[in-house]
Amino acid sequence: MEAITLPIYNTQGKEVDTVKLDSSVFDGIINTAVIYQTICMYRANQRKGLASTKTMGEVSGGGRKPWRQKGTGRARVGSIRSPLWRGGGVTFGPHPRDYSYTIPKKIKKLALKSALCAKIKANNFIVLDDFKLGSPKTKEAVKIFYSLKLKPLRGILLLLDRIDNNLKIALRNINFLDVNLAKDTHAYEILAHQRLIVTSSALNELSKRLKK
């Protein structure tokens, strides 16, 4: 497949250069099967598994037999904490458990490649030359997103190669933005956001990571 070429923008929203993506990484193939497997795994790993019910042996009370076994005309009962009674134990109810599991690294890597290709195909992949701020001010950071004409401003993921203290302070209160390092991102995070903004250095790091 022919290499994909994308424009590189500066923080004023002007096109300053172009970048030719590595065709071995950004091959345009979207493997929905591995994306499905990876998303199922990440969502399962987020589950707390705290649902809990008490069995008949765990419910308090019911130590005495309510009435004698025979002769009353009523059904025989051994305890008022029987699952048949109100306030009794629960049969086959949920108990705390761990839902997490893992999948092979190759599948995770392939899913990440597919997620990036999906963003490129949908024109939701933006490359910035750099993302630097003179001072740790949120207003300055928001101006950059307005200059990129990202309207409506929601569901944006910014991938960087490193996050300095100025950026951390300026970006932490922007409600439409999530920030992560290129070395830590994954397919679920990318697909959970509408738009993806990547700096040139972060793009290089992504390419190196997916080539291994």
Residue 146 and residue 203 in one domain: yes
Q: How many CB atoms lie within 10 A of CB 158?
A: 25
Of the candidates 35, 48, 37, the one whose C-alpha atom is nearest the C-alpha of residue 99 is 48
**Alpha helices by DSSP H, the chain:** 32-46, 105-121, 138-147, 165-171, 187-191, 200-211
Residue 94 and residue 150 in one domain: no
Q: For the domain that residue 146 is a member of, what is the CATH number?
A: 3.40.1370.10
Residue 79 and residue 106 in one domain: no
Residue 153 and residue 70 in one domain: no
pTM of structure: 0.83
> What b/e string do you get for 167-201 counting C-beta neighbours within 10 Å, with b at 16 or more?
beebbeebeebebbebeebbbbbbbebebbbbbbb
Range(s) of the domain holding residue 86: 49-98
* Cα–Cα separations (whole angstroms), residue 80 to 68, 69, 73, 74: 13, 14, 17, 14
Per-residue pLDDT of the chain (212 residues), as tens digits, is 578 889 999 988 888 889 888 888 888 889 999 999 999 999 999 999 999 999 999 999 888 999 999 999 999 999 999 999 999 999 999 999 999 999 999 999 999 999 999 999 999 999 999 888 878 899 988 998 888 888 777 899 999 998 888 888 999 889 999 999 999 999 999 999 999 999 999 999 999 998 87
Residue 63 and residue 91 in one domain: yes
pLDDT of residue 164: 85
pLDDT of residue 1: 59
Number of domains forming the structure of the chain:
2
pLDDT of residue 86: 92
Q: Contact at 8 Å (CB) between 54 and 61?
A: no
